[in-house]
Amino acid sequence: MTTDTAQAKAALRTQRIETPSWAYGNSGTRFKVFAQQGVPRTPQEKIDDAAQVHRYTGIAPSVALHIPWDKVDDYAALAEHARERGVQVGTINTNVFQDDDYMLGSVTNPDPAVRKKALNHLLECVDIMDVTGSRDLKLWFSDGTNYPGQDDIRARQDRLAEALAAVYERLGDDQRFLLEYKLFEPAFYTTDLPDWGTSYAHCLKLGPKAQVVVDTGHHAPGTNIEFIVAFLLREGKLGGFDFNSRFYADDDLMVGAADPFQLFRIMHEVIQGGGYTDEIAFMLDQCHNIEPKIPGQIRSVMNVQEATAKALLVDVEALRAAQKAGDVLGANAVFMDAYNTDVRPLLAELRAEMGLAPDPMAAYARSGYFEKIRDGRKDGQAAGWGA
Ligand code: LRH
Ligand code: MN
Ligand code: MN
């Protein structure tokens, strides 16, 4: 390993990972939501919990909101609350999937009144961004059909394009939207934005403020996600990630839990493709159904950090030389060498240099914060996924 660890550490100091407000609230599957002790009762308390993740990792300084799950009367005050806790409000996530009106779709619904309602919500979310100072609007649509013949596939694309153009128009100079795709669920026959190519085509037509976001749980099993990342970065169309991991479908498990090697391969493409910058939003999109939530987020942030550290340790010079020489096994060995490096001592050292405890999980456990919220938040249960 000839790569300078000081260089890797300097790069790791600049890393920023955004945690999602909904990870802190109760969540579950469609079979059962298991309520946990001490979960936040308000958006403010979700931000308080997110601030704990930043406090112990040092690299999670913003929290994404989901509207209306995090609806408040005064977003300026909410942003101020975040600043007081040492974090910022980040991406604003839209929600046009939890209203009876959206049974047959939101912006692609055959009924123009429903389309209008959905579009109004998206535009209201941009109003919120103006107040919170958020740069990114995340758009995910549950739109699609369950049965062949149910609706016109091309007409739905037209309706989608029309709504996206209206949102694009509304964006300020320093704002962008990130367009998310997902293979299936809740629609099972067609999904109106099923893959990166569809998202890319819509974004390309609109311009630079429309970018694709890759949710790592939204692909068919076996999909080569790092190829998608490499391609989108090359085209200047990768806006960010929703990180999580999956064994089967959109499992929303902790990133790096199911397949840490995949996460390493993705981070390798990010770094080599020039995507290790603030221009790319590195977000978590997860639920902690059976594990405690704040430690679940801390562990996830650490998993991304570990994969990043390994990717930063790839001896790129040796890799390029082997690739150029057609040395298949040599190139693969350089790659695997970095992946197989135990970066935990390096990260512990980095944290000490940053004035943090070397083991964020242990430091949080010792802090007494959980006992405080368990005892203090007794009168109510927070809105989270499915609220
Ligand atoms: C959809 C999704 C999208 C939503 C979030 C709660 O599966 O990934 O990003 O906003 O889950
Ligand atoms: Mn997502
Ligand atoms: Mn998802």
Write the DSSP assignment of 110-169 as a string of letters: SSHHHHHHHHHHHHHHHHHHHHHT--EEEE----EESSTTSS-HHHHHHHHHHHHHHHHH
What percentage of residues in the chain have a pLDDT greater than 70?
Answer: 97
Task: Tell me the best of 102, 140, 178, 251 to mutate to test the pocket of ligand 1, counting ligand atoms within 8 Å of each CB and taking the most.
Answer: 140
Counting from 1 in the atom list of ligand 1, the atom nearest the Cα of 185 is 7
Measured in angstroms, how far is the CA atom of residue 343 from the centroid of ligand 3? 29
Domains in the chain with CATH codes: 5-376 (3.20.20.150)
Task: Tell me the best of 183, 192, 243, 285 to mutate to test the pocket of ligand 1, counting ligand atoms within 8 Å of each CB and taking the most.
Answer: 285
Angle between helices 369-376 and 360-367 (to 10 degrees): 40
ipTM, two decimals: 0.99
pLDDT bin (cut points 50, 70, 90) of residue 245 is very high
Identify which of 385, 319, 279, 337 has the alpha carbon closest to the alpha carbon of residue 36: 385
What pTM, to 2 d.p., does this model score?
A: 0.97
Phi, psi of 161 (to 5 degrees): -60, -40
The per-residue pLDDT of the chain, averaged, comes to 97
Measured in angstroms, how far is the CA atom of residue 337 from the centroid of ligand 3? 32
Measured in angstroms, how far is the CA atom of residue 22 from the centroid of ligand 2? 11
Mean pLDDT over 162-179 rounds to: 99
Any atom of ligand 1 within 6 Å of the Cβ of 215: yes
Given a contact cutoff of 8 angstroms between Cβ atoms, the answer to whether 205 and 167 are in contact is no
The pLDDT tens digits for 228-244 are 999 999 999 999 999 99
Longest dimension (CA), the chain: 66
Any atom of ligand 1 within 6 Å of the Cβ of 285: yes
The pLDDT tens digits for 93-124 are 999 999 999 999 999 999 999 999 999 999 99
Any atom of ligand 1 within 6 Å of the Cβ of 306: no
- Cβ < 5 A residues, ion ligand 2: 215, 242, 285
Residue type, 377: R
The H-or-E segment that residue 276 falls in is none
The pLDDT tens digits for 27-76 are 999 999 999 999 999 999 999 999 999 999 999 999 999 999 999 999 99
Task: Tell me the best of 29, 91, 93, 251 to mutate to test the pocket of ligand 1, counting ligand atoms within 8 Å of each CB and taking the most.
Answer: 93
pLDDT bin (cut points 50, 70, 90) of residue 380 is low
Phi, psi of 240 (to 5 degrees): 170, -175
What's the pLDDT at 12?
98
Identify which of 277, 252, 271, 303 has the alpha carbon closest to the alpha carbon of residue 53: 303
Given a contact cutoff of 8 angstroms between Cβ atoms, the answer to whether 64 and 21 are in contact is yes
Q: Whose CA is nearest to atom 11 of ligand 1?
A: 285
**382 pLDDT higher than 90:** no
Q: Which ligand is nearest to the CA of 251?
A: 3
Q: Whose CA is nearest to atom 5 of ligand 1?
A: 285
Any atom of ligand 1 within 6 Å of the Cβ of 251: no
